């Protein structure tokens, strides 16, 4: 009798990578005293699972739709050796390679969008181009989007287009952290039931705990195997994985004064050494 150790191994590596993503994000924003930390905290497991066991570097594409989520992609790229400590140390400075809001020149991704809700449309364009070039099925296009973007019509136009054309090479990770610049998404515009809305447009949709690497991995495998475009809705928190943050921390743009930054770094470094 043999035992399949693939899933436990992937889970361990993804959990380790998620911790490193959080640590790198704190390192990037701590010199500034504030920044888009909450987005890295909420999406860390999604990025980790995707890059640990699914996205094939140099084959598949990776699109980050909300430009301020780019911090997580930078962290992943540093762990993969595609960015340096010096690159991360310059994050957010004038003229730096690593801008705090992603642009067309941002490394670590195939496409990012400063304005919200445009990433899915761009991803569908890439997938449609593959079809027109006769290479459909050769690679996946993974897209990270946010629940705040569901308040914008372009997201739903793109979802409708993808369902109609059955662009099954597109897989969306939807970070449902209930956070946007004006407050909780649920208090601004009702977007629920999220999964049912995507299904109505012809998508495969699954709702999971976005901080469970096991649930994310299983859902991504089903999404990849389904012939329809697919979305994995990851329910997350913008303060997950960092106990030192105050309960009322603004998840969209977290203030991190020097004393709190030191505590956050110590907490994540201790976890990393465990």
CA dist 148 and 204 (Å) reads 20
Least Cα distance to 146 among 209, 196, 191 occurs for: 191
Q: Is residue 186 in a domain?
A: yes
> What domain count does the chain have?
1
Global pTM value: 0.94
Question: Residue 150 belongs to what domain range?
Answer: 10-271
Domain assignment present for 25? yes
**183: three-class secondary structure by DSSP:** strand
The CA distance from 13 to 18, in Å, is 9
Q: Which domain CATH number covers 82? A: 3.40.50.970
Residue 153: inside a domain: yes
Burial of 2 (0-12, 13-18, 19+ CB in 10 A): exposed
In a domain, 140, yes or no: yes
Q: Does residue 189 sit within a domain?
A: yes
Q: How far apart are CA 112 and CA 147, in angstroms?
A: 16
Q: What are the start-end ranges of the E strands in 24-107?
A: 34-35, 61-66
Residue 93 maps to a domain: yes
pLDDT in tens, the chain (274 residues): 333 445 667 778 999 999 999 999 999 999 999 999 999 999 999 999 999 989 999 999 999 999 999 999 999 999 999 999 999 999 999 999 999 999 989 999 999 987 889 999 999 999 999 999 999 999 999 999 999 999 999 999 999 999 999 999 999 999 999 998 888 889 999 999 999 999 999 999 999 999 999 999 999 999 999 999 999 999 999 999 999 999 888 888 899 999 999 999 999 997 666 5
What is the spatial distance between Cα 203 and Cα 163, in angstroms, rounded to a whole number?
Answer: 6
Which phi and psi (to 5°) does residue 174 adopt? -105, 110
Report yes or no on 4 lying in a domain.
no
The H or E element containing residue 232 is strand 230-235
């Amino acid at each position: 009798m043999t035992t399949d150790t693939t899933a436990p191994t992937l889970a361990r590596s993804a959990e380790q990578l998620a911790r490193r993503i959080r640590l790198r994000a704190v390192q990037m924003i701590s010199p500034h005293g504030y920044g888009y930390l909450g987005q890295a905290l909420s999406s860390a497991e999604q990025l980790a699972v995707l890059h640990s066991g699914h996205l094939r570097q140099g084959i598949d594409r990776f699109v980050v739709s909300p430009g301020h989520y780019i911090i997580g992609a930078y962290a992943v790229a540093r762990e993969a050796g595609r960015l340096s400590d010096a690159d991360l140390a310059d994050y957010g400075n004038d003229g730096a390679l690593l801008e705090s809001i992603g642009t067309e020149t941002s490394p670590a991704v195939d496409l990012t969008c400063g304005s919200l809700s445009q990433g899915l449309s761009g991803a569908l364009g890439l997938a449609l181009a593959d079809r027109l070039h006769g290479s459909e099925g050769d690679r996946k296009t993974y897209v990270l989007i946010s629940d705040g973007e569901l308040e914008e019509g372009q997201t739903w136009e793109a979802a409708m287009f993808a369902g109609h054309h059955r662009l099954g090479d597109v897989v969306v990770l939807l970070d449902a952290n209930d956070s946007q610049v004006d407050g909780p998404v649920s208090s601004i515009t009702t977007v629920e039931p999220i999964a049912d809305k995507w299904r109505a447009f012809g998508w495969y949709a699954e709702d999971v705990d976005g901080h469970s690497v096991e649930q994310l991995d299983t859902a991504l495998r089903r999404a990849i195997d389904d012939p329809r475009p697919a979305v994995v809705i990851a329910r997350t928190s913008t303060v997950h994985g960092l106990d030192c943050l105050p309960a009322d921390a603004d998840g969209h743009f977290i203030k991190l004064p020097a004393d709190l930054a030191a505590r956050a770094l110590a907490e994540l470094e201790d976890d990393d050494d465990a």
